[in-house]
Chains A and B, each alone.
Chain A
Amino acid sequence: MPEAEPFALVDRNRNGLRIAAANGKALSAGVALGTPLPDARAAMPALAVRASEPERDGTALQKLALWLGRYGPSTNIDATDGAWVDVTGVAHLFGGEAGLCRDLTERLGRAGITARIGLAGTFGTAHALARFAGSPSGSGWTIAPPSTEREALAGLPVAALRLDREAVQLLVRLGLKRCGQLYGLPRSALAARFREATRASDRKAAEIRAATLLLRLDQALGTVAEPRRPMRAPPEASARLAFPDPLLTAEGVTAALERLVALLAAQLSDMSLGARSFRLALYRVDGTVAGTSVGTSTACRDPAHALRLMRERLAGLDAGFGIDVATLEAERLERLEACQSSLSTGTNDASIAIGTLVDRLVGRLGRGQVAVCEPAESHIPERSEVWRLAMEAPLPGVSARVPPPTHPPRPPLLLVPPEPITVIAEVPEGAPQHVVWRRVARRIVRMEGPERIAPEWWRHVGASGMQPGTRDYYRLEDTTGARYWVFREGLYEDRPDDQPEEDDGGGDDTPPRWFMHGLFP
């Protein structure tokens, strides 16, 4: 929508359509925010109107806050109409605070966003300046030099203090229209005035409002600290590179990545730390962010390894119209002492080599694809061990040992879940004579068993999805020489003419069921 046309967004509420936002042309023609649409139309018949979409606004703000990461590590959205970024110690990169604001305004302007920027030593003052300060010389930004929050706030309306509508109306009724008027007031008197001005039933709310007012004022003036929650926790170590000419080619990005990794590795080395995860963010000139993150199975600060992991991910990266800022952050830091690098080019230490390999496999295939075997606390065959993700398990080679082989042999291949089979036996409790598995009948010539494995009575779901029963395992060999591990879940002892026993076996009235559980060589 071009700036030349008067334009507004409307909200539907209880009383009909109201103006939620308007552009400069409409505002200057007398369209006030919050007025009903018919009134606004009366003032300006040519007003173009669209329905406002708060959800999409929120999404766009999130993206904007993410993009602001190019100016500082901690950012987040602010209320429903703004975003903040902590620029402590980074202004010099842009030639001072004014330079930073100019850069930000220009970039947002190119993206079609008219920005109003407030920069101050406290969060509350910056919030107020961005929304309520008329900027000098129409530049779009207002900067409060250090420890001048009092002066900067003094002339602003009380609404700038992030108060609710009732509180603002009350203050205006009391004649307190500017923040500066609040400075000299006795604090207890302010609360008393709030109480007197409201009905008796709202006394409690009035006290809360008064307390909020004082807190907001103190926070804006910097006498009370205000905790902020960034979208992501700021990294403990990070490296940043800005490029005068946007990077467009894969070679350029790779070269930049090499420098970033080297910078970060030097930082980590100084701190005797290694990272388990690296996050790369590439800021494109058109205001979008591309990024990737890689994880490692052990703490790492080896530039070559980190570089190789990330290069895998750069393959599908779209540079768009070019990348002008890149940041690399180290996350999940762990203690990593300096160690002697090997003289030969090959890695001598097997654990390092295997860790490197695991990282590469996980980086390319995904976390869920690489696993190591770990024993688990259960005597049920399929639960007695788990294949844990290699990234979460301790390093291969140092993992806990699975108990040594027991005498009844176990199959090297286990069907999970066990597959139901049909079994014909001579006598109900006897060994199988014929087995039908996967629709093929197999005649059994040799068998060994049963080996009884009692159920875990503290669990409630067995192989058949019901209360687990006692398992009787058999090793079978058919006429072709194939060997199977089958089991019968449940017992035959529950005869209908018997007294129903409250026993652990068999389930209720269901006959025992047979399952194929493993394949022997």
Chain B
Amino acid sequence: MPSEGSPSLPPATSAPTPRSSALPETRHWTLGEATIDARLPGGGLDPAATIEIKPATHADWASVLAFAACLAVRRLGSLAPAASASQVLWCTTRAVTSEHGRLNGAGLATLGLPPETILLVETARRNEALWTLEEALRSGALALAVGILDAVDLTPSRRLGLSAAAGRTPLLLMTRPDTPPALSSAVRMRLSRRPSAPHPFDARAPGIPRFGLTLERCRGAPVSDETVSLDLEWCHVTHRFSLAAGLVDRTHATGDARQRAGG
């Protein structure tokens, strides 16, 4: 249950109403999970800034790409139903496509993202990708721009941040785990894969996906000495993240499943 894990939160931010994701949060681009949203300035992600997501290791790229798709679902859900901008620009490179696979529309639909909202751009060079993202952000025609790059230097990252502010369009930036972070991003998250949630009917089967999220940087957030590190799971029905239930039982559950699978 989402609210149980966060007793110390200010209650006014968002009363968790598990089954109605639409009304209370239409104007905010949030993760839908109170613990993490409370850590973000203004109770949500800034819809005119850069949000950087870094995988913890190279093996976490699949989780990062899927997490970005989930955030895109949240972003589309946060816009008014008749909003003019309903497209997501997904700017990737050939290397990423051959390494981690191309986007699969049916799989995006599984996560809750309608595939027809994706405008896929595949670039060969970094400069092209940066130009594409700037152009897309400044056009203001998009709900969200997603960019996958090796690394972003100071000047390009500032340009991207200014473009996002100029076009009132957020940018999800994904960079390699071993490169220095982009300096002008408003929020930086580090993401790792986690064993999936237990399947409700079949203990041997993988359940709904879980992400290990660490908030590394959060511009304008209330000062806090502890780093936020949470396990989130994505519900493709309600289109919201929630805290992974039964965190303490996880090792046990996995071990159990392994035992059964092995036996």
Contact = CB atoms under 8 A, between A and B. Distances in A.
Interface of A: 346-350, 353-354, 356-358, 360-361, 364-365, 369-373, 375, 381, 384-385, 387, 390, 396-397, 399-406, 409-416, 433, 444-448, 475-477, 479-483, 518-521
Interface residues of B, number: 63
Contact of A357 (B67, B141, B196): B141
A519 to B, nearest CB: 4
A402 B111 CA distance: 14
Given A350-B85, A373-B115, A481-B193, A444 B65 contact: no
6 contacts: A350-B141, A358-B119, A361-B121, A373-B118, A445-B257, A480-B193
Given A346-B140, A350-B86, A412 B110 contact: yes
Contacts of B69: 412
Contact of B65 (A354, A402, A412): A412
Contacts of B117: 396-397
Contact of B261 (A353, A412, A444): A444
B201 to A, nearest CB: 10
A434 to B, nearest CB: 11
B122 interface: yes
Contact of A518 (B107, B120, B136, B139): B107
A410 B132 contact: no
Nearest to A350: B84
B92 to A, nearest CB: 10
Nearest to B234: A521
Contacts of A396: 87, 116-117, 119
A402 B109 contact: yes
A399 B118 CA distance: 11
A402 B106 contact: yes
Given A371-B119, A409-B107, A521-B66, 12 more contacts: A350-B85, A370-B121, A384-B106, A402-B114, A402-B116, A404-B109, A405-B112, A410-B107, A412-B110, A413-B103, A520-B62, A521-B62
B123 A365 contact: yes
A521 B116 contact: no
B114 A401 contact: yes
A334 B158 CA distance: 41
Contacts of A448: 199, 202, 204-206
A437 to B, nearest CB: 11
Contacts of A480: 59, 193
Contacts of B262: 433, 445
A268 B3 CA distance: 61
A361 B117 CA distance: 17
Contacts of A346: 140
B47 interface: no
B119 A390 contact: yes
A385 B101 contact: no
Interface in B183-227: 193-196, 199, 202, 204-206, 209-211
A401 B116 contact: yes
B103 A409 contact: no
The residue in B87, B107, B122, B258 that gathers the most chain A C-beta atoms within 10 A of its C-beta is: B107
Contacts of B196: 446, 477, 481, 483
A448 B261 CA distance: 11
A372 B206 contact: no
Q: Which 8 A-B pairs have the closest CB atoms?
A: A521-B66, A353-B141, A350-B84, A412-B107, A413-B101, A448-B205, A414-B104, A519-B62
B84 A353 contact: yes
Interface string B19-48: 000000000000000000000000000000
Nearest to A479: B258
A521 B211 CA distance: 8
B116 A482 contact: no
B142 interface: yes
The residue in B89, B117, B141, B257 that gathers the most chain A C-beta atoms within 10 A of its C-beta is: B141
Nearest to A349: B84
Contacts of B204: 446-448
B159 interface: no
Nearest to A517: B101
A446 B104 contact: no
A521 B193 contact: yes
A479 B254 CA distance: 8
A433 B102 CA distance: 26
A375 B140 CA distance: 27
A446 B206 contact: yes
A401 B114 CA distance: 8
A348 B257 contact: no
Nearest to B205: A448
B14 interface: no
A447 B206 contact: yes
